[in-house]
Amino acid sequence: MVMSDTNEKSTPDEHILINEEDLEPMPGHAPLDVDHVRRVIGAKRIQGMSTPKKIAWALVLVLALAASAYGVYKWRSGSAEVTYSTATVGKGTVTYAIEATGTLEAVRESDLGFKSDDAIIAINVQPGDHVTAGQLLAEQDPATYKTALQQAQNTVHKDQISLKTANLSYQTNLKNFNQQKQLFDAGAISQSELDDAQDALTRSEWEVEVANVNLANDRIKLAQAERDLAGAAILAPFDGIVGAVNGQVGQLSGINTSSSTLLTVMSDELQLSTLVNEADIGKIQVGQAAEFTSSSFANITFRGKVERITPQAQTVSSVQYYPVLISVEDPEGVLLSGMSVSANIIMARQENVLTVPMMAVSYATTYLRNNPSLAPSSGGKAVVVMENGQPVVKAVTLGINDGSNYVVTGGLNEGEAVIVGANQASTSGTTTSTTNRNSTNRNQGGGVGGPPMGGF
């Protein structure tokens, strides 16, 4: 018997031959069960296909299985749980500070050199040597200056004798003039004799004046000779340290030579010269505490205070900065002039206070953006805490921050776990959390933060 599937269109070479034994009823089915007939027809159809068509049917089957597997994967990934990262609310120190960069420099610094051009006969110090005020550091040959000084002293001595002689002559002529005046008044001498006495007195007055002028001029020369002799020796102007030596014995040195500065002496006491951005300079006041670190001593925090604020700005890369001078406390004497440092000028500091990471506040902002119905009615700051394995939004009040942590003034308790981040799990599973026990910044050096809350 010949049968065909009325739901399929067939070409002449696709007729299906079905034998009567193929239609033997299956156990429990009627002899002409429709499902049984369809299965027989399907099997016979595949058997009767050409090889290319069998391959095509196999590809269709593979694609169908792949689509089914992808659907299962999407269903499972859609049910993945969220993994939260948390930090524990604890107590610590929060410092609100203004950041500044600067360079250490000596409080006092003096460049020293010889006044007169002459050869160096001695240099008694080297860079790094500590010196005391008045200590002889270097000298030129003093012989020429000693000779000039002796001559100047002799000239002054001679002038002093000339002045004494002129004064003696003046006294004699004054006495004679007074006698002549009495005789003239008595009619005993003529007018010409009185005039001669007057002229002698006037000449002696001039001689005294000239002697005084000569003595004054030669005393100036004597002082210069003394300075020249003193200039042949360089003395330490104050207690300090030798910063540089720019010459050697035998070299010509003086004010008119290339090595006019032979030595540099700096005070042991240092100060910190910093630049503060114009956006922050209004918050800086003289007397504020400061802390700073140097890359040479990364584990040491040095302290000082603001000593001076220069009102004239300096432009650096089109930004206005104001010089701020900070005193330096260096009890161990390890700092050196010229070191670059990073400083924090302390605006406020709170110790042993409840703190929460700023990341927790940032996460809560994102969380509430996606879940606006959970936002606090007050409209203020919030964090998301883990309670019984579930995220719960809590309103908080915050104080100053140090760039990493806020001071908590209300809304949280010590030990609570605040969420600082979340991730989609790659596979389905239970919710987990990671507690960051070191979330609270306890760095006494503070950090750089935005303007603090609460009126700062």
What are the pLDDT digits (tens) for 397-421?
999 999 999 999 999 999 999 999 9
Take residue 440 and report the two structure tokens written for it: 């609270």
Please, which pLDDT band fits residue 374 given cuts at 50, 70 and 90?
Answer: very high
In the predicted model, what is the mean pLDDT of residues 43-54?
59
The region, left, alpha or beta by phi > 0 then psi within -120 to 50, assigned to residue 432 is beta
Q: In what order do the strands lie in the sheet with 417-424?
A: 390-395, 382-387, 417-424, 82-88, 433-436
Strand 90-106 relative to strand 447-448: parallel, antiparallel, unpaired?
A: parallel
The tens digit of pLDDT for each residue in 322-350 reads 999 999 999 888 999 999 999 999 999 99
- Determine phi and psi for 47, rounding to 5 degrees: -65, -30
Residue 13 has a pLDDT of: 45
Residue 445 has a pLDDT of: 36
Amino acid at 451: P
Beta partners for residue 104, in sequence order: 272
DSSP 38-97: HHHHHHHHHHTS-HHHHHHHHHHHHHHHHHHHHHHHHHHHTTPPEEEEEEE-EEEEEEEE
Contact residues for 370 (Cβ-Cβ < 8 A; gap 6+): none
CA distance 327 to 299: 20
Residue 103 has a pLDDT of: 95
Query: Residue 391: is its pLDDT beyond 80?
Result: yes
Q: In what order do the strands lie in the sheet with 233-235?
A: 233-235, 136-140, 118-123, 252-253
CA distance 429 to 146: 99
DSSP label at residue 14: G
The tens digit of pLDDT for each residue in 279-302 reads 999 999 999 999 999 988 988 999
Strand ranges in 287-416 using DSSP code E only, listed in sequence order: 289-294, 297-309, 314-316, 319-327, 340-357, 382-387, 390-395, 397-401, 405-410
Taking alpha carbons only, the member of 164, 117, 121, 156 closest to residue 141 is: 121
In the predicted model, what is the mean pLDDT of residues 374-395?
93
Tokens 């960051």 — which residue?
A: 436
Residue 437 has a pLDDT of: 36
Please list, residue by residue across 28-62, b when 16 or more beta carbons sit within 10 angstroms of its beta carbon and e when fewer do.
Answer: eeeeeeeebeeebbeebbeeeeeeeeeeeeeeeee
Summary mean pLDDT of the chain: 82
Q: Regarding predicted confidence, which is higher, 157 or 80?
A: 157
DSSP label at residue 420: E
The tens digit of pLDDT for each residue in 86-137 reads 999 999 999 999 999 899 999 999 999 988 888 899 999 999 999 999 999 9
Please list, residue by residue across 425-448, b when 16 or more beta carbons sit within 10 angstroms of its beta carbon and e when fewer do.
Answer: eeeeeeeeeeebeebbbeeebbbb
The tens digit of pLDDT for each residue in 128-146 reads 999 999 999 999 999 989 9
Taking alpha carbons only, the member of 363, 366, 116 closest to residue 262 is: 116
Residue 117 has a pLDDT of: 85
CA distance 371 to 360: 16
Residue 289 has a pLDDT of: 96
Lowest mean pLDDT among 24-33, 120-129, 314-323: 24-33
In the predicted model, what is the mean pLDDT of residues 4-31?
48
Beta partners for residue 103, in sequence order: 273, 340
Tokens 């068509």 — which residue?
A: 53
The region, left, alpha or beta by phi > 0 then psi within -120 to 50, assigned to residue 349 is beta
The tens digit of pLDDT for each residue in 217-251 reads 999 999 999 998 988 999 999 999 999 999 899 88
In Å, how far are 181, 229, 248 from 122, measured between CA atoms? 69, 15, 8
CATH of domain 82-93+350-445: 2.40.420.20
Please, which pLDDT band fits residue 69 given cuts at 50, 70 and 90?
Answer: low
DSSP label at residue 109: E
The tens digit of pLDDT for each residue in 188-200 reads 999 999 999 999 9
Residue 418 has a pLDDT of: 97
Residue 7 has a pLDDT of: 44
Taking alpha carbons only, the member of 240, 284, 231, 286 closest to residue 264 is: 240
- Determine phi and psi for 160, rounding to 5 degrees: -65, -40
Residue 225 has a pLDDT of: 93
Lowest mean pLDDT among 73-82, 242-251, 272-281, 304-313: 73-82
CA distance 398 to 411: 9
In the predicted model, what is the mean pLDDT of residues 165-169?
96
